[in-house]
Structure 1
Amino acid sequence: MSDHSSTYFDRKRSASYDRRAARLLGGLYRRVAADVAALAAPGAVVLDVGTGPGRLLHQLAARRADLVLGGVDLSADMVAVANAAAGAWSSRITFQVADVTSLPRPDDSVDLIVSTLSMHEWPDHRRAVTELRRVLRPGGLLLVYDFRFARFEREAFSDFARVRRAPVRLKWWPMALFAGVTASKH
């Protein structure tokens, strides 16, 4: 992600973003959580890249007790907000400060990677997607949800077996403001 994100989201702005995200993006997070919950195998290791205040992982923890959940964000203050908001799920979710191009995970260690509204902040899609592919297990899934108008470099996903990009429609917003990318690793 951009260096701007790590410095912009200080403690005050991170808390403010969390409040706005809960109100404005709750429907999107519920949709993504439902998608991940439906696609993740029992006991799957799930990594949320650009987790922000951790809202998605909190919802996943409530839906699926069997999942091993982790989230990374470039902002230490955003990770602090995510940890503070985890409440009863704090023992089930691990949040870390990390960049999408340098994830603190071993090769082939994650079953499903999800990223919601952070791809538009990645300065180098190819480098980011290469790193995501490194930590994804063979047969694993990458789900990226972002604004429909966000820059999408299909060639960055060329090493994946299958790539599909489609509009994401939400009940509360009839226009497809968001798009999703689904990619699977060979």
Structure 2
Amino acid sequence: MPHVFEGRGSRLYNFVSRRVLRRMYRRLARDIAAAAPQGAAVLDVGTGPGVLLQELARLRPDLRLTGVDLSADMVANATRNLAAHDNATAQVGDVTALPFPDDSFDLVVSSFSSHHWDHPEAAVPELARVLRPSGRVRVYDFRFAPFDQLATTAGERGLFTAEPPRRDPVPTGVPFFRRCTRLVLAA
């Protein structure tokens, strides 16, 4: 885990996420809110300071939102940021060993986290394990993120076979990077 997500770096990232990148998180939240079933349990992997969950909680109070992040400092920021939302929590956890029972979530999302994953191929079976049947994974990240590795691993292991993996550009609303890529995997 990069040290930027610990101590002073985590406080700076929290500030930037809440102030500079808020518009992007609002756009992603609208995209996710439109895809989430009524009353869905949603997991945000690499939640950071929980800004995406804040926006989702505002848009869809019916959702049960959980964030997980490797950094205890980020989880502390997320916990503070989510304090006003009783349908959202955050905890420490690793995408390759998620601390949840099988079939826990209807939708798993990740925003700008997958390019930090040390072992994206090990994340795929974990994402499939915690996802309920007919659930979806939506990964938003930079073009250079390990999308091919995620999709290839899913295909090789016979996971997420309900539909072919789909990759689409998504506008961010942020001038210095106008688009990100969204990968959708369907269980």
Fold match, TM over 0.5?
A: yes
The answer to whether the aligner puts 1:80 opposite 2:76 as a matched pair is yes
The reply on whether 1:125 has 2:141 as its aligned counterpart is no
1:22-61 to 2 correspondences below 5 Å: 22-61=18-57
The alignment yields a C-alpha RMSD, in angstroms, of 1.7
Which residue of 2 is the match for residue 155 of structure 1?
152
Superposition TM-score, scaled by structure 1 size: 0.90
One-letter amino acid of the counterpart of residue 47, structure 2:
T
Query: How far apart, CA to CA, are the structure 1 residues paired with 2:6 and 2:173?
Result: 32
1:184 to 166, 170, 186: 186
- Could you tell me which runs of 5 or more consecutive residues in structure 2 were left unpaired when the two chains were aligned: none
Q: Which residue of 1 aligns with 2:61?
A: 65
- For 2:4 and 2:21, how far apart are their aligned partners in 1? 20
Q: Structure 1's 172 and 15: CA in aligned 2 closer, same or farther, altered over 3 A?
A: closer
Task: Find the counterpart in structure 1 of residue 6 from structure 2.
Answer: 10
Gaps of 5+ in 1: none
Match of 1:165 in 2: 167
Mapped partners of 1:160, 1:62: distance in 2? 29
Alignment partners' CA distance in 1, 2:16 and 2:118:
25
Q: 1:111 — aligned with what?
A: 106
C-alpha distance in 2, partners of 1:20/1:156? 33
Residue aligned with 1:123, SS: coil
User: Are the equivalent residues in 1 in contact too, given 2:120–2:146 (CA < 8 A)?
Assistant: no
Aligned pair count reads 180
CA 1:106 to 1:23, structure 2 compared with 1: closer, same or farther past 3 Å? same
Tell me by how many angstroms 1:170 deviates: 3.2
Partner Cα separation in structure 2 for residue 28 and residue 136 of structure 1: 25
CA contact (8 A) 1:167 1:176 kept: no
Post-superposition CA distance 1:63-83 (Å, at most 9, x none): 111111100000001000111
Matched residues in 2 for 1:102 and 1:174: separation? 34
Q: CA deviation at 1:8?
A: 4.2
Q: Tell whether the 8 Å contact from 1:45 to 1:111 is kept in structure 2 after alignment.
A: yes
1:71-124 deviations in Å (ceiling 9; x for gaps): 0000001000111112311x3212110000011111111000000000001111
8 A Cα contact 1:148 1:176, kept in partner = no
**2 CA distance for matches of 1:96 and 1:87?**
13
2-side partners of 1:138 and 1:72: how far apart? 21
**If the length of structure 2 is used for normalisation, what is the TM-score?**
0.89
